[in-house]
């Protein structure tokens, strides 16, 4: 099978390596043709240091590589998905399966990545979301990893499962693309929050509190938007939340640590040196929660820190002194 991965960042490169390892004729596209040529010649992508690209993987800056591709993976940052969808639309066919692995919600429209791709490509083909607890650095080194391929069309989800699954990359299928994509976007906001907690010097108790109560928030919003509760407790939900909130591989957590140490959001993102998806998702989540009338105090607080200049220690105090609650009913004591 011919497969194309759009976006030569660490995650796109790791997924291209998986596809090549599985015997697929795989192309890794970079919008910078000169950079793609360097990767093709050296067989090394600096964005995924220490990994030699397999022979079945070809780096290119030419979108003509999409001709005849049965599987196309969009692995660009979320802010580039709309532009990428427009660019690739002329090359797609009805039988193509388009996979989104970008984790975010579009600013202002509040669309999920699959919705953007459907809109920009004229909904010509099936779109599947692939997500889960999966650091590119570990996948590329063949460390056992599990993800979820989600689509309302089960045949499309199983096609992606078959394309990617091997002895180190296990894929489950799901019909709940809404829940899987929302989990992918929202967990980045929480990873920022946990990073801030670390930067403030708070402990494991605080992080456990944040992650657990944030999952309740994510589930509330996710169900309101059409997701299935079980998804948020699975690989795409709790699994991805755990790995993103606890690992230094996570750009979102690293940015949060810097913010907790006193840097501004902009300074933190510049120091991390790569796209911090949680920063953009925080604004979208804030908009969505207000629109849907869903209470999300942790997400509200990180939004205030990122966009309104509120001090992190002040929002910690606010969260801890909120009205008394029952954990199961979510209602304040009367």
Q: Quick one: 149 and 218 in the same domain? A: no
Assess if residue 272 is contained within a domain.
yes
φ, ψ for residue 125 (rounded to 5)? -140, 170
Are 40 and 155 within one domain? yes
pTM of the predicted protein model:
0.92
d(CA 145, CA 262): 35
Tell me phi and psi for residue 299, to 5 degrees. Answer: -65, -35
| Residue carrying the six token digits 């940015």 | 255
Give dist(CA 292, CA 275) in Å, integer.
28
Same domain (yes/no): 123, 183: no
Strands, DSSP E only, in the chain?
Answer: 2-6, 25-29, 57-60, 71-74, 97-100, 126-131, 145-150, 169-174
- Quote the distance between the C-alpha of residue 51 and its chain's center: 22
Q: How many domains does the chain have?
A: 2
Per-residue model confidence as pLDDT tens for the chain (334 residues): 999 999 999 999 999 999 999 999 999 999 999 999 999 999 999 999 889 999 999 999 999 999 999 999 999 999 999 999 999 999 999 999 999 999 999 988 999 999 999 999 999 999 999 999 999 999 999 999 999 999 999 999 999 999 999 999 999 999 999 999 999 999 999 999 999 999 999 999 999 999 999 999 999 999 999 999 999 999 999 999 999 999 988 999 999 999 999 999 999 999 998 788 899 999 999 999 999 999 999 999 999 999 999 999 999 999 999 999 888 876 554 4
In a domain, 248, yes or no: yes
57 and 19 within one domain: yes
Domain boundary among 136, 151, 175: 175
Give me the pLDDT at residue 331, please: 58
134 and 8 share one domain: yes
Same-domain status, 170 and 189? no
The domain that contains 236 carries what CATH number?
A: 1.10.1040.10
pLDDT at 269: 92
CA distances from 12 to 69, 101, 136, 302, 304 (A): 16, 8, 8, 28, 32
**What's the pLDDT at 332?**
54
The last residue of one of the domains, among 109, 141, 175, is 175
Sign of CA dihedral 87, 278, 237, 29: positive
Identify whether 187 is a catalytic site residue.
yes
Three-state DSSP at 27 gives strand
Identify the active-site residue in 126, 187, 263, 290.
187
**Quick one: pLDDT at residue 325?**
87
Q: Which of 153, 175, 197 is the last residue of a domain?
A: 175
In a domain, 6, yes or no: yes
Domain that holds residue 157: 2-175
Would residue 329 count as lying in a domain?
no
Position 325 in a domain: no
């Amino acid at each position: 099978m011919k497969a194309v991965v759009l976006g030569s960042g660490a995650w796109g490169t790791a997924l291209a390596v998986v596809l090549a390892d599985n015997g697929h004729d795989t192309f890794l596209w970079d919008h910078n043709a000169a950079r793609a040529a360097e990767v093709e010649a050296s067989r090394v992508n600096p964005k995924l240091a220490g990994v030699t690209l397999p022979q079945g993987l070809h780096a290119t800056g030419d979108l003509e590589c999409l001709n005849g591709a049965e599987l196309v993976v969009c692995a660009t940052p979320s802010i580039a998905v709309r532009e990428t969808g427009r660019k690739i639309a002329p090359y797609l066919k009805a039988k193509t399966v388009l996979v989104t692995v970008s984790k975010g919600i579009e600013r202002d429209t509040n669309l999920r990545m699959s919705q953007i791709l459907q809109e920009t490509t004229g909904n010509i083909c099936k779109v599947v979301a692939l997500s889960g607890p999966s650091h590119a650095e570990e996948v590329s080194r063949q460390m056992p990893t599990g993800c979820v391929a989600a689509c309302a069309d089960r045949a499309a989800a199983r096609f992606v499962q078959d394309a990617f699954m091997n002895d180190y990359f296990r894929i489950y299928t799901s019909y709940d693309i809404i829940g899987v994509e929302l989990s992918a976007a929202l967990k980045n906001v929480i990873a920022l929050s946990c990073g801030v907690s670390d930067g403030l010097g708070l402990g494991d108790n605080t992080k456990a509190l944040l992650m657990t109560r944030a999952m309740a928030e994510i589930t509330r919003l996710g169900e309101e938007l059409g997701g299935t509760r079980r998804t948020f407790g699975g690989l795409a939900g709790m699994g991805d939340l755990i790995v993103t909130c606890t690992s230094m591989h996570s750009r979102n957590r690293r940015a949060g640590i810097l913010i907790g140490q006193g840097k501004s959001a902009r300074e933190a993102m510049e120091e991390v040196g790569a796209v911090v998806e949680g920063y953009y998702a925080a604004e979208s989540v804030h908009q969505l929660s207000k629109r849907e009338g869903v209470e999300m105090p942790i997400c509200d607080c990180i939004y205030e820190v990122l966009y309104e200049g509120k001090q992190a220690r002040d929002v910690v105090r606010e969260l801890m002194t909120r009205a008394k609650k029952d954990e199961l009913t979510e209602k304040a004591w009367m």
